[in-house]
Amino acid sequence: MELIVLAIKDIFRRKGKSLYLLVAIVIPVAILSTILLTFDNADSSLSNLASKFGFTLIVQPKNVRVDRINQIGVNTEEYIPEGVVREIEKRVREIILNPKDRIITVVRFYKDEKVLAGKYEVSSVVAGVDFKSELEAKPSWTLTDGRWPTSDREAVLGGTYASSRKISLNDTVTINGSEFKVAGILQNYNSSEDYMVFAPFAEVQKLFDKTGFVSVINIQNVSLDKDKKLLQAAVEDINRNIPNITALSPQQFSTMKYTLLKKTLKFLLAIVVATVAVSIFSIFNIMTSVLYSRVKEIGLLKSVGASRSQLLTIFLSEYLTIGLIGGMIGYPLGLFMTYLLDSFLLKLGTGVRVNLLYVLVALLVGVFCSFAASSYPIYRLSRIKITESFRTQWEG
Amino acid sequence: MDNSNGTAFLELKNVNKTFNLSYGEVTALEHVSLTINKRELVALVGPSGSGKTTLLNIIGSLDRPSKGEVILEGTRIDTLSEEELVHFRREKFSFIFQDAKPLRMLNVLENTLLPFNFFKPKNRNGNIRNEGIEIIKSLGLGHRLYHMPSQLSGGEIQRVAIARALITHPAMILADEPTANLDRDNRLFVIETFRKLSKEKDIAIVLSTHDLEIANRADRIVHLKDGVFLKDEAIACPPCKV
């Protein structure tokens, strides 16, 4: 029988203690995998986001701090007076020099509101949009079902919003007491729009008593798109001359959000490192107690001819196998936790994908935790004399 | 004191052993000289703390004397390195401990063959596994070959330890209180097995015991008290004395 087989047989014999160790390893691996996968998802979500904006310039209220915008920049708390729109258009036109260059302005009004959708009221982001200008700016915006609204009391639902609440065409959603008929279902774009309710701009303003206010102004212009210096000049000019607003290029916007997410995830990563350290310490304690309860077994193995290196092989194989299994269980658990986190909290909408590099990281972390926690007690016990192992009361 | 009736297999010359404990130095053995011959069954007797186990450990090279020499077949073994001792022990000694239960994850046969997980047997013809089965059967455990230790009685567990000790064809078996915790039938079975093995397989066997009924079935009884050699008593007709 090989030494490794001896080690594996022992894992199965000590099911309870092996399981206990396994749990202690699975937890940090799962948390680490969750953080890494979420980081990865946030990264691709933001890349998608930058490419999906389709806008040259984004203007939002000055008071909107980075930490108050949600996943893709939906600010539902601060507003800009609508009159600013003309002023911004005027300044952009002066900067681009060519008066024939077309400027498309898309304004949106956002509000977090409980919406009666299907049987239940659910917290939703209601977007007041001008469907005509939206489609002009984003011709790729398409419906999977139905048509674009033609009346003030019609709405379009994000694909995920409709499917998750089992809402079909011609059903009604009630926003702030007013019923809207579902005219169309939007195609999923893996963005927060998949989770929104879109209704005519003016109607939504009225519903929330915010006529004359907008949440965000998006500008589309070919000249600015082509010339980054010109775009930067426009951003600076608007920020300098129009009070209480912040103009950003989509790139800046993404960077801003990315920085926030990165900071958050770095913080979480630090927590994970601390968790791993605490886990290693607790695994160390468990291992020490388990190993000390095996001192007589070590004495027996030595007495039948096991050398120190053979003992190290047996015990390290045993605990490294547990570490490896911990990594193998921890990673899928991390995937599941990422899915839950994304579905119920972050809503990055990028889906959960297996990342082979992170599988490797999870396995290595599992093995590392196990090795770091077990190597010292194993080393120490492998040095114990046969006579001491039988003389001493080591039972743990 | 010396008692050399045959070929000297192992010799202890003026062995002292002291332990440095937190409360001071304790002398466990003092000026012990002893010769053990092949085919001899020697019982170490004495009250608790008399130094039986310490002497057994020094004989088996599990511990080193503080002073004195241990010579086995002309080789001084108390000065060998730990690595050399591992190889030396594999070839020459087998141990049976009172507390050394078989490994719980292995069955009786696997426990018997356990030493060969760590080294390959030298100069052995035939199938080791079959030999293991034969040894187990000879100890009356033929029906327990594939049973786990948790399914065995105390007496059977001790027989597994004997089987494991025999499989390596040792020159000497050292048994520390091998009959403690066993009922009388099993105690007698163990000592009679030892007697038989020492004569049939040319093995020197040294055991420690409190039990005079067991000790009186040995070829010699070495009496110890407070680490001092009291008496080396040869039993002319061991079974007759019982």
Residues A274-315: tens digit of each pLDDT: 887 887 888 888 878 877 878 888 888 888 888 888 888 888
Region B37-59 average pLDDT: 90
Q: Is B52 on the interface with A (CB under 8 A)?
A: no
Strands B67-72 and B8-21, bridge-based pairing: antiparallel
B219 secondary structure, DSSP code: S
- Are A386 and B106 in contact (CB < 8 Å)? no
Task: Count the neighbouring beta carbons within 10 Å of the beta carbon of residue A95.
Answer: 19
Whether A276 contacts A32, CB under 8 Å: yes
- Are B90 and A301 in contact (CB < 8 Å)? no
Q: What is the pLDDT of residue A69?
A: 47
Which pLDDT band holds residue A183 (cuts at 50, 70, 90)?
A: very high
- Are B118 and A6 in contact (CB < 8 Å)? no
- Are A386 and B118 in contact (CB < 8 Å)? no
> Please, which residues 178-237 of chain B have a Cβ atom closer than 8 Å to chain A?
none
Cα angle: A46, vertex A52, A58; to 5 degrees: 85
Q: Is B28 on the interface with A (CB under 8 A)?
A: no
Q: How far is CA B201 from CA A306, B89, B130, B194, in A?
A: 25, 18, 18, 10
Q: Is B119 on the interface with A (CB under 8 A)?
A: yes
- Are A305 and B63 in contact (CB < 8 Å)? no
Which pLDDT band holds residue A254 (cuts at 50, 70, 90)?
A: low
**Which is more confident, B33 or B3?**
B33
Residue A82 pLDDT exceeds 50: yes
Comparing CA positions, the residue from A171, A149, A168, A172 lying closest to residue A159 is A168
**Nearest by CB: A13 against B53, B89, B104:** B104
In B, minimum Cα distance to A302 occurs at: B86
**Structural domains in chain B plus CATH codes:** 8-100+171-241 (3.40.50.300)
- What angle do the packed helices B184-200 and B154-166 form, to 10 degrees? 10
Q: What is the pLDDT of residue A260?
A: 65
Q: Is B85 on the interface with A (CB under 8 A)?
A: no
Task: Count the neighbouring beta carbons within 10 Å of the beta carbon of residue A238.
Answer: 23
Q: What six digits make up the tokens of B205?
A: 């066997």
**Nearest by CB: A390 against B97, B103, B168:** B97
Q: How far is residue B3's CA from residue A128's CA, in Å, rounded to a whole number?
A: 108
Q: How far is residue A80's CA from residue A245's CA, in Å, rounded to a whole number?
A: 7
Q: What is the pLDDT of residue B197?
A: 85
A307-344 tens-digit pLDDT: 888 888 888 888 889 999 999 999 999 989 888 877 77
- Are B100 and A303 in contact (CB < 8 Å)? yes
- Are A390 and B176 in contact (CB < 8 Å)? yes
Q: What is the mean pLDDT of chain B?
A: 86
Which pLDDT band holds residue A139 (cuts at 50, 70, 90)?
A: confident
In A, minimum Cα distance to B129 occurs at: A1
- A/B interface, count of CB pairs below 8 Å: 67
B142-191 tens-digit pLDDT: 899 999 998 998 888 988 998 998 898 899 999 988 888 778 888 888 89
Cα angle: A196, vertex A157, A110; to 5 degrees: 35
- Are B62 and A385 in contact (CB < 8 Å)? yes
- Are B118 and A301 in contact (CB < 8 Å)? yes
Q: What is the pLDDT of residue A349?
A: 59
- Residue A187 phi/psi, 5° resolution? -65, 150
Percent of chain B residues topping a pLDDT of 70: 93
Question: CA of A387, closest CA in chain B: separation in Å?
Answer: 6
A114-130 tens-digit pLDDT: 888 877 888 888 999 99
Strands A154-157 and A178-186, bridge-based pairing: parallel
Q: What is the pLDDT of residue B178?
A: 86
Least confident of A61-70, A150-159, B28-37, B229-238: A61-70
Is the torsion defined by CA of A57, A59, A63, A68 positive or negative? Answer: negative
In A, minimum Cα distance to B162 occurs at: A304
Q: List CB contacts (< 8 A) between B170 and chain A.
A: none
Question: CA of A7, closest CA in chain B: separation in Å?
Answer: 10
Three-class secondary structure of residue A25 per DSSP: helix
**Who contacts B6 (Cβ-Cβ below 8 Å, separation ≥6)?**
B37, B38, B39, B40
**Who contacts A262 (Cβ-Cβ below 8 Å, separation ≥6)?**
A39
Which pLDDT band holds residue B212 (cuts at 50, 70, 90)?
A: confident
**Who contacts B132 (Cβ-Cβ below 8 Å, separation ≥6)?**
B109, B112, B113, B163, B167
Three-class secondary structure of residue A125 per DSSP: strand
State the burial class of residue B204 (Cβ atoms within 10 Å of its Cβ: 0-12, 13-18, 19+): buried
Domain limits of chain A?
Answer: 3-47+258-391, 57-248
Q: How far is CA B174 from CA A141, B93, B109, in A?
A: 87, 7, 21
Q: List CB contacts (< 8 A) between A17 and chain B.
A: none
Q: Is B63 on the interface with A (CB under 8 A)?
A: yes
Q: What is the pLDDT of residue A396?
A: 33
Q: Is B19 on the interface with A (CB under 8 A)?
A: no
Whether B161 contacts B207, CB under 8 Å: no
Question: CA of B89, closest CA in chain A: separation in Å?
Answer: 7
Q: What six digits make up the tokens of B22?
A: 């937190």
Three-class secondary structure of residue B198 per DSSP: helix
Comparing CA positions, the residue from A263, A296, A297, A260 lying closest to residue A68 is A260
The amino acid at residue A192 is: S
Q: What six digits make up the tokens of A50?
A: 């930058």
Question: CA of A340, closest CA in chain B: separation in Å?
Answer: 40
Helix then strand count (H, E) for chain B reads 8, 10
- Are A13 and B168 in contact (CB < 8 Å)? no
